Amino acid sequence: MDSSENQVAHEYIPYFRAYKDGRVERFFGSDRVPPAIDDSDQNGVFSKDVIIVSETGLSARIFIPAAAIKPGQRLPLVVYYHGGGFFMGSPFCSVYNNFVSSLAAKANAIAVSVDYRLAPEHYIPVAYEDSWAALKWVASHCNGQGPEAWLNNYVDFHRVFLAGDSAGGNLVHNVAVQATVEDLNGVKLSGICLIHPFFGRQDGGVDKCWTFVCPTTSGSDDYRINPSVDSRLSSLRCARVLVCIAEKDKLKARGLFYYETLRDSEWAGKVEIAETGGEDHVFHLFNPNSESAVALIEKIASFINQHNAS
């Protein structure tokens, strides 16, 4: 018997375990609910699954409020990156399907929820590459000539937002700064929202989770995990940023660190921080009907619509 067969390389109990022989057990995000393609869901939202890059299998689930499907209607677009430490989670699982559907309904927006590839099967930087490729695919529709009719016909490409939670919040930041140096077919980001984002610690430390998913990292001076060393930060091409934190979240200080770093940079936009009292990390995913979760999704929707009205 191979001595590595039952040796654990990394685990995040009760959600994830990876073994040294390459086997992976995911206890979160592996369920798959079908899209609401033939009839709208409980939020009044239709959804469909699309392949973005056939060679890699990069895909996404698209959400559109049923009431928006009418000629001449143009809605803001939210590109959503799920959390899960870069090693678990999916747009197709019940937790993220329900959350992004609720966000699309509350914000009256179209959402593209990205299924980027996960570690350890695909180590960093694959998640960043997939996330950028998904945004480039979205932007390919801005002239009405893209492969997806919902985006061609119903998106207002002057109102494009990025949003994500935990590791997805990290992806939001990194994709947004990538947009400062690469073209998006003329599409400009209106705003970004980072929910309980995952970065390194303010004292320069990085977690074992990060070194697991990114074995080639240089550590605390890696700009992907430490925004304070990212020279592109002051050139961030969006007018507004919303950072959401939770009082009991162990990552609260990371979100505050990001907020302060961006606020004190030479970036010319407006950054806002919103804290939810008495709640833990990504509480809204696991207790979506709670008063705090409802308030959080309303805050994010308000952020989108406030910008629309400005």
- Which residues are the active-site residues? 166, 249, 281
Q: Tell me, what DSSP letter sits at residue 82?
A: -
Beta bridge partners of 26: 16
Q: In this structure, which amino acid lies at residue 60? A: A
Q: Give the separation between CA 169 and CA 195, rounded to whole angstroms.
A: 6
Q: In this structure, which amino acid lies at residue 138? A: V
Backbone angles phi, psi at 278, to 5 degrees: 70, 10
Task: Give ∠ CA 258-203-165 in degrees, rounded to 5.
Answer: 35
> Is-contact 47 35, C-beta < 8 A?
yes
Q: Give the separation between CA 156 and CA 154, rounded to whole angstroms.
A: 7
Q: Give the separation between CA 254 and CA 236, rounded to whole angstroms.
A: 19
Helices (H), 45-166: 94-107, 126-139, 149-154
